[in-house]
Amino acid sequence: MKLRLLAALVCALPTASYAQNCEMKLGAMGPMSGGAAQWGLAMNSAAELAAAEVNAQGGVKLNGKMCKVVVVPYDSKYTADGAAAGSNALAAQDIHLIIGPVGSPEATGIKPVAARNGQVAWNAAYAKNSLEPKYPLMFHIAPGPGVWADAVIKRAMKEFPMKSVALIAPNDQGGTDIASVDAEAYKANGIKTTEEYYQRGTTNFAPIVTRILASNPDVVDTASSPPGDAGVIIKQLRLAGFKGAVGRLGGPGTDEILRVAGGIDVVKNFYWFETVATADPKVREIDDEYKKLLGKDPVGGTAVWADLPAARMTLKAVSIAGTDDAKAVAAELRKLPVDDPNMGKGYWTGKKQFGIAQELSFPFGIGIIKDGKNLGVERQDARPD
């Protein structure tokens, strides 16, 4: 009898200890070093905030227990092999849910590996194949230019009449997939376009600026060039005497662009797409909440706001499913309504473009700087597919 009691106690010990230390690991992936570090660190900040929110309420419900969420970041370096290696590294830590990666090369790299590892991943890439029906565990944080480029161009044309535009972007999938879709949208509005691609890692754009200006465009669009690159391009365009407007139908990063270019007076005339309606006070509250819960400022600028709903919804789906198994979480995610406390109401989109409705579509913004004056970011409501 004593022996049985002892055995029962020994068996109970690890369970009790597990209940006390129960935790669920959530992956956060993206470039966390190099020129696009801002976007990867934003993924991490968004995952950290969503985890802190849930932990403040006692954690996620996992196998009947309340478990603390711990974020495990991975620097996928904006490369396909980095993201594929990241998926494996996180799988080795028994992580089934990943907020990230960011860029198109990373999305390409992670898709087959995460499918094999049984992981849900949320990519933020603007690639033409960000989602594919054959990868049902892949989700998309926000729509690409096919959805919003036309609205931004039409708004920009009211401020900056244009007949020709030169698009400039890196020569990998992270550049060409976006710039080519942007070019189609400009052409659909009767604007003549040229596309110019550069090797990622270029630091001095003076030769490319000379080449672009030879075609005398009305507008130069920096598309999905990393914000640091776009800032240097604008600085060198102005130095070369370019007086036209500069557009940006690509990833967010206006503050960084203004800093690198040398200020708003240098940039002067600029229009850009914002993934979220950044002027909305509800959206801006996210930074205050981050500071309150985590005691520091988030890293990654406005991209943190765009990435947050995906992290929040994932943790909500875990509690509903009662497990962090990727298939079960994905099934619950698909049923969740798209309605974020800060971002407002949105839609599940993607069916039309990718054949699978696993893309979050929230209200976005269009920013305008005219004659060196920031006119602000106008809110555009999300539309269903």
For the record, the structure tokens of 186 come out as 């400009």
Strand 23-30 versus strand 60-62 pairing type: unpaired
Residue pair 162/216 in contact (Cβ under 8 Å)? The answer is no
* Prior bond of 101 cis (ω within 30°): yes
- Single out the residue of 126, 160, 198, 362 in contact with another protein (rule: CB under 8 A): 198
- Single out the residue of 196, 221, 307, 359 in contact with another protein (rule: CB under 8 A): 196
- Taking contact as CB under 8 A, which single stretch among the options 101-109, 145-153, 236-244, 364-372 is the one that binds another protein? 236-244
Binding status of residue 295 toward another protein by CB under 8 A:
no
Binding status of residue 372 toward another protein by CB under 8 A:
no
Q: Name the minimum Å distance from CB 173 to another protein.
A: 13
Residue pair 142/338 in contact (Cβ under 8 Å)? The answer is no
| Non-local CB neighbours of 62 within 8 Å, separated by 6+ positions | 22, 24, 318, 322, 323, 324
Residue pair 270/303 in contact (Cβ under 8 Å)? The answer is no
Binding status of residue 291 toward another protein by CB under 8 A:
no
Angle between helices 80-92 and 104-117 (to 10 degrees): 30
Binding status of residue 241 toward another protein by CB under 8 A:
yes
- Single out the residue of 210, 292, 337, 352 in contact with another protein (rule: CB under 8 A): 210
Binding status of residue 128 toward another protein by CB under 8 A:
no
Binding status of residue 228 toward another protein by CB under 8 A:
yes
Site string for another protein, 99-118 (x = CB under 8 A): --------------------
- Single out the residue of 22, 23, 35, 189 in contact with another protein (rule: CB under 8 A): 35
CA diameter of the chain: 92
Binding status of residue 207 toward another protein by CB under 8 A:
yes
Residue pair 123/101 in contact (Cβ under 8 Å)? The answer is yes
- Single out the residue of 49, 54, 260, 338 in contact with another protein (rule: CB under 8 A): 260
- Single out the residue of 24, 25, 27, 38 in contact with another protein (rule: CB under 8 A): 38
- Taking contact as CB under 8 A, which single stretch among the options 231-239, 308-316, 320-328, 369-377 is the one that binds another protein? 231-239
- Which residues of the shown chain bind another protein in the complex (CB under 8 A)? 32-35, 37-38, 41, 171, 196-199, 201-204, 206-208, 210-211, 214, 228, 231-232, 239-241, 255-256, 259-260, 262-263, 299-301
